[in-house]
A and B are shown apart, each in its own frame.
Chain A
Amino acid sequence: MSNIPGEKQRFLFIDQFRGLIVILMLVDHTSYYFNSIWNQIDPLDPLFDTWGQFVLRYVSYLCAPGFLMMAGAMVWWSYHKRIEKGTRDWTVRWHLIRRGLFLILMQITWVNSSWGGFSEFKPNHLGIIACIGISMILMTFIVKLNWQLRFLIGLVILAIHPIFLKIPYDPDITWQRVLMQTFIDAGAFNKYPVMPWFALLTLGSAMATGWLSVWKTDKKRIDMSIGIATVAILTAIAVRMSRGYGNIFPFSSFGSYSFLFDQKYPPSLYHSLWFFGFVVLGIAGFIAIGKIAPKLLVIFTIPGKVPLFFYGMHIAIMGVFVKRFDFFYREGAVLESLIGLVVMLIIMLPLCKWFYGVKLRSKNYLIRMI
């Protein structure tokens, strides 16, 4: 835990893990802008012609589960801290709902347009930020429940999501497409349906009860996280090896990349359990490294404190300079993507540090939301 004077109470390992998530996301997005393979990838049914390309994409699969789980953790923490301070229940909930609405608004205004360098205004689809926003709003209705119930709700939603995926609909009919792709399926309107991702946000909130409240020592946090991650990953393996319910893409054999690579849009049950396990394991790892070699994690601290700013800015910068001005847009491969990553980190880290200072000093409502 870190307490800088004038700063809210923060959990360093949460900030740092969120920092890892945004940097992994940057890996994927630099690839999206610089890597020519994106000329031929269908994200809903991806094919990679080399192992390097596969890894470049696969490491970012941790991002969405990590983002959602950390958002769930922070919603739970924020709610309880404000209640402890004496704020009225519905005032806190309304604050969280407004934050959720702000995220949806941010998605359909800034984020959607920033991908193309603001050459077009594209409010007619959703994405991960909107998914987090909607999930946060839904979370406000169950945030008071005890962790066991929230954990159960998360697991049940994940478990029944494959059944909902069988609901037939016509993506050419607008209301069916919007309804189904907002909540259940993935498609052109929205790749991040709320149902499975809300489940992960709920599981994140349940884990936060342990990480931030119940488990008082780092040792306890590490031990419990490793135990829960083990169960989750072994369950995911069992689901995958059954080759039936909870799987979407078939695979060849255990350990092959088709084994690891199940569908992300929308996530299969295997995918959700597997990455839930690795996010929990990652948190345990960050707590442990924070104790043994804290300097290793310094790079993640600042971007992890302003993840939304990082997200909104890095896409906008690449959208404008790479896509709109057509600077090496999708002309490279793995190496060029990694060079792009380094360049973007050199740009983003000081920017994040500057913005975090602004945010700490500012009383502007919008700036404090970002």
Chain B
Amino acid sequence: MEKLKILTIALFLNLMLMILSPGCSSRYDEPVTEADSTIVFIPKNGNDISAKILLYRKISRKTGQPIDAGTVFPIRKKETVRALVELANRFEKGNRNLIFHFNWIGPDGSSVYTKPVNLSPGDSASTLSSSISISPETRPAGEYRLQLYLFRELIAEKKFQLIAESKDTMSAMEAITAKIGFCGKTDKKTGKRLNVDSVFKIRENGRVHAFVDIGNRFAYSGKELKFDLEWFGPDGKSFYHKQFDLSLNDSSTVLKNSISIDPDARQPGEYLLKLFLFHELIAENKFNLLPEARVISPIKKKITSKITFCSGVDKKTGEQIGVDTVFKIGDKGRIHAFVEFENREETKSELKFILDWVDPNGKSFYRKPIGLLPTDSISTVTSSISVSPETRHAGGYFLRVFLLDDLIGERKFELLP
């Protein structure tokens, strides 16, 4: 009898602990903000259901995909803000009804609309949707939130702004966002961006394509949005300008433009692209052009180079220590490069080499010119760089060997943190 009593009391204590402990919550208290600005409450069980929220204004009649996605929307008659939720691990709960709640919260913290959604086990949907009207008579301007609950536990949240319909260019510039990227090619059929990078080699008939993703493009209700793209060369001077006038009927949210990177048109160096909206700078991004790989004269072609990296050199013997292509960043550390030239004796004039050290961003950070006369007996040259944490960061580096302007060899090495 006493044992039974103890067992019973233990059972109740357990139940009380269960109620009063945070163990009841299946999610971590501290949320994480994803790249798309969805605030996510991560499940303690990694395989549990999670969600991403996309807010948008319309669905494309052609593709059926959401368009005008963003987090700032102008208040307009007969318009709505829609939410599309993509669920991950939708079937983690197995053969069980799932109950979700959308909770749209207004600027004063009050709930403006709550929508429960039941997903039965037979329902294969892994997306949920909800929407609210943003007509001026129902919604004031301000910061709103959309919360998504699963079994009454908050699993994701996204903030958005409703702004008063205005033709004011200043408010448009505050709301509209732009992100500039570069690529070497675009697929002609799909328009997909290929070779997305910030470093390109100058080449005959080559082009660099710029794309600008515009966010909250419909925050402005005036007649036209006037964008200007301005390309700047390594000398800091503008060399090309393109204007875009997007009318209200134009639903595009990407601006595209390209420039030639033919050797006759461009010099190696750092380029800059600036985007202006109503003549105010709203975004900029850089890219690098590297020298073209030219056709090398027959004599030069014979001259080859062999590059070896090491972390030290024996001062007495001159022997290489720690030969490798992977090194660690460290105080007082250095990397030594040994470049051995072959077939150099066939030339009768001075050879001007350049050893060019290039960082993970494709940017040259140290160039060492070396001149070798036919009478010089050496066939190996050296160069070294510091790898202290103040000067270098982790990533893939290159050493490029140029003979005059021609690249005759390169080798990659890695720096680890």
Contact = CB atoms under 8 A, between A and B. Distances in A.
Given A40-B105, A47-B103, A226-B5, A252 B111 contact: no
A46 B152 contact: yes
B258 to A, nearest CB: 47
Contacts of B35: none
A257 B153 contact: yes
A55 B93 CA distance: 25
Interface residues of A, number: 35
B105 A226 contact: no
B295 interface: no
Contacts of A281: 12
Contacts of B151: 250-252, 256, 258
Given A250-B99, A251-B151, A39 B26 contact: no
Interface string A334-369: 000000000000000000000000000000000000
B9 interface: yes
B103 A40 contact: yes
Interface stretch (B17-25, B326-334, B402-410): B17-25
A261 interface: yes
B150 A47 contact: no
B364 interface: no
B110 A39 contact: yes
B106 to A, nearest CB: 9
B119 to A, nearest CB: 10
Given A39-B109, A47-B152, A258-B152, A252 B93 contact: yes
B110 A58 contact: no
A255 B111 contact: no
A252 B147 contact: no
Interface in A303-328: none
B91 interface: no
Contacts of B12: 226, 229-230, 233, 281
Given A47-B147, A250-B97, A256 B111 contact: no
A42 B116 CA distance: 12
Contacts of B29: 50-51
Interface string A166-209: 00000000000000000000000000000000000000000000
B183 interface: no
B109 A45 contact: no
Contact of B24 (A243, A249, A260): A260
Contacts of B152: 46-48, 249, 257-258, 261
Given A50-B29, A226-B5, A250-B98, 18 more contacts: A40-B105, A40-B109, A40-B111, A45-B101, A45-B114, A45-B116, A47-B114, A49-B147, A49-B154, A54-B24, A233-B15, A250-B96, A250-B97, A252-B153, A256-B24, A257-B153, A281-B12, A330-B109
Interface of A: 36, 39-42, 45-51, 54-55, 58, 223, 226-227, 229-230, 233, 243, 249-253, 255-258, 260-261, 281, 330
